[in-house]
Structure 1
Amino acid sequence: MSEALDAMAAERAESIRMIRDSAAGIAPRGGDRKRIRALRFQAPGFDRAVWQQVGEQGWIGLHVAEERGGAGLGMSEFCAIAEEMGAALAPEPLVPGALSAALLAAAGAEAPLAKLLAGESYVATAWQEAPGVLEAPGNEGAPRRFLPLAGGADAFLVPVREGGKLALYLQPAGGADLALEKTQDGGFFGTLRPQGGERVLEDAEVALASALDEAALGTAAYLLGIMDQAFTLTLDYLRTRQQFNRPIGSFQALQHRAADLKIQLALSRASVESAAALLDTPGTPQAMRRAAVSRAKARASEAAMLITRQAIQLHGGIGYTDEADIGLYLRKAMVMANQFGPAALHRRRFAAEAREEEA
């Protein structure tokens, strides 16, 4: 029995490694940062051709059941891809797209789901209603905020509270009342005022809660990729930058700072991977799942901000210029750290869910 389990674990680890390797063609570590710079503040904020490649690779539907057209893989595999996208600073909306794919799959909306999974369209879920974060949306027509790359959306999924249930509407982007605002990383957030649409799911409460947890964990993995690559670039700089005829990485004070950052990176990786494993384990109590996701998201958000800020400082004066690539990682972390809930919110949720689990 033990040998069979070990073999299954080894097979899955190899599968995850192969998935990571497959990202090199679209989102290479070290990245094509010229592409990232060229897309900054240019509508829609991502490359449609690359988005289609993401769909062709099966990444958008990686966690969607095979009978719905997805790959039927777990959160561990999805987090591996999200991490690679983060390391490459890829702006394509993988996590928001996967969130919408999960909801369309739950609704059985085959036609829009197929187009989304193929990367032929981008559907944004307008779940976040001011002023709440991770709270159930309320009245129809209430503005929905912070939609990632909303200017590139072909349709919107809008949860609406109706008769004690949370209905889900699919609204075409054409003619939508949508306002865009630039973000630090060169992308755009949208504010949408819903205008009806087709109801595709009568009660989306459970599906939305599950999909939001997966999106929060996917975002934590994306942040893990950001901080991992920022740390790698910083180590390379410390090894090559010379002062007093020796690499500055040989200075003990800088070595101590780098060691502290490596610890934060390792703790974040352990937290994300353990949360993904919990979500992939059938029968895991809901409170335990939510607590693990919040722990991972809170840690990743704070660690990404710490590591990217320290990376700027360790690069010296040049790190503060826009021409320095290391700044791109800080800007991306500033935007992603608050998506699907900031660290403070997830710390509160972790405390609440951990108490419920112990009760």
Structure 2
Amino acid sequence: MSTIEMIRDSAAAIAPRGADLSRVRALRFTRPGFDPAVWREMGEMGWIGLRVAEDAGGIGLGMAEYVALAEEMGRELVPEPLVQGILAAALLEGCGDAAGLAALLEGKALPLTAWQETPDTLVAPGSAQAPRLFLPMAAGASGFLLPVRKDGGMALHAAEGTPEIVETQDGGHYGTLRPEQGARLGTLPAGLLDRALDEAALATAAMLLGVMEGAFAMTLDYLRTRQQFGKPIGSFQALQHRAVDLKIQIALTRASVEAAAATLDAGATEDARRAAVSRAKHRAAEAALLVTREAVQMHGAIGYTDEYDVGLYLRKAMVLAHQFGSPSLHRRRYIACAEAEV
């Protein structure tokens, strides 16, 4: 069995395929919006340290395994902020904060990286005093990591402050932090933060792939069971054509996400890495919004009710589509990186 298959199988412990979404519903619009016990379980299973080297306490797997796990999390709408935890782990490992990294990898802490200073960007300027925006699940953070540009490099500081919370469509929330700079944890190696943000963007694309797969599977079940004029509506040619179009979008997204993961694992140049990530994130965001909207419509009137689960996939897609860069940002970045590679 390959490591990717093992990762997918391990995901069933927390997010079994086809399970009901009662846990997800129970956590919507609550604080912290996820289950700390499940977060600790993710740590115990090694997921938070998936990209951390073995000698630093992680399991040292590649992006292929990471996107496989992220896809499974997206498919079951898991609310725990795994991508944000893996991002923080990369920075703590890079700056040499062994104690902070150990607590995070065990699931005993959740330091969120306060990197974003402007909307719709994948660049971290590292300004010392600027408010940090769009921190997912900030109410559940045990603390914050603050990248600050100093002496031509990037230092990592602990940060304090109480974030201002705004709820999101999917029942989660974002926080805005006006940080109080704390102890310096170390210096980040050159380019580490950029690479970690690219990896987070690609993992988010994989989550979007999982979201559209979950919505599509639910829609196929509905088409097979809902009857009209004495036959399943899935036998109607018009709906079959629409379903095939959505299946094609999912297949193209999978190809793009997996190709980007292979590119990163092969040690691509900076421009090639960025182009691959942006191609995958743009396609995943656009396709997920299309597939989940179509899934709601193909369910008819019941699909528009909040009580019916298919709408949860659309809400999740609306939030994830803009995390770590919107489709338009990634389209522009892909064009710029592709031109630079020529």
Do residues 59 (structure 1) and 43 (structure 2) align? no
Letter in 2 for 1:38: A
Give structure 2 stretches of 5+ with no counterpart.
none
Do residues 288 (structure 1) and 288 (structure 2) align? no
Which of 306, 310, 314 matches 1:326? 310
Do residues 357 (structure 1) and 341 (structure 2) align? yes
Alignment-derived partner of residue 223 in structure 2:
238
Contact 1:166-1:203 within 8 A present in 2 as well = yes
How big is each residue's C-alpha offset from its partner over 1:112-151, in whole Å with a ceiling of 9 and x where there is no partner? 1011111111111011002461122243221100001011
Alignment-derived partner of residue 113 in structure 1:
101
- Please give the secondary structure, in 1, of the residue aligned with 2:135: strand
Which of 250, 254, 262 matches 2:235? 250
Do residues 225 (structure 1) and 210 (structure 2) align? yes
Alignment-derived partner of residue 265 in structure 1:
250
Give structure 1 stretches of 5+ with no counterpart.
1-10
Indicate the larger mover: 324-333 or 127-136. Answer: 127-136
Letter in 1 for 2:240: Q
> Separation in 2 of the partners of 1:205 and 1:43?
36
Alignment-derived partner of residue 95 in structure 1:
83
How big is each residue's C-alpha offset from its partner over 1:199-252, in whole Å with a ceiling of 9 and x where there is no partner? 123345511001000000000111111001110100110111000001111111
> Separation in 1 of the partners of 2:325 and 2:258?
19
Which of 299, 316, 338 matches 2:322? 338
How big is each residue's C-alpha offset from its partner over 1:330-358, in whole Å with a ceiling of 9 and x where there is no partner? 11111111000011000111001111111
Do residues 194 (structure 1) and 182 (structure 2) align? no
Which of 261, 266, 274 matches 2:259? 274
Alignment-derived partner of residue 81 in structure 1:
69
Contact 1:100-1:157 within 8 A present in 2 as well = yes
> Separation in 2 of the partners of 1:332 and 1:142?
28
Alignment-derived partner of residue 28 in structure 2:
40
> Separation in 2 of the partners of 1:323 and 1:346?
34
Which of 126, 134, 146 matches 2:134? 146
Gap change, CA 1:131 and 1:86, over 3 Å in 2: closer
> Separation in 2 of the partners of 1:132 and 1:241?
41
Letter in 2 for 1:235: L
Alignment-derived partner of residue 117 in structure 2:
129
Contact 2:154-2:188 within 8 A present in 1 as well = yes
Calculate the TM-score normalised by the size of structure 1. 0.93
> Separation in 2 of the partners of 1:31 and 1:65?
33
How big is each residue's C-alpha offset from its partner over 1:25-76, in whole Å with a ceiling of 9 and x where there is no partner? 1111223411000000110010000011111110111111111111001010
The alignment yields a C-alpha RMSD, in angstroms, of: 1.2
Alignment-derived partner of residue 6 in structure 1:
none
| Count of matched residue pairs | 342
> Separation in 2 of the partners of 1:38 and 1:216?
27
> Separation in 2 of the partners of 1:95 and 1:136?
17
Deviation of 1:166 after TM superposition, in Å, equals 2.3
Calculate the TM-score normalised by the size of structure 2. 0.97
Which of 178, 200, 208 matches 1:215? 200
Do residues 317 (structure 1) and 305 (structure 2) align? no
Contact 1:155-1:171 within 8 A present in 2 as well = yes
- Please give the secondary structure, in 1, of the residue aligned with 2:129: coil
> Separation in 1 of the partners of 2:289 and 2:155?
36
Contact 1:30-1:87 within 8 A present in 2 as well = no
> Separation in 2 of the partners of 1:202 and 1:119?
24
Contact 1:130-1:145 within 8 A present in 2 as well = yes
> Separation in 2 of the partners of 1:204 and 1:97?
19
How big is each residue's C-alpha offset from its partner over 1:243-296, in whole Å with a ceiling of 9 and x where there is no partner? 0001111111111110100000000000000111111113x2221111001100
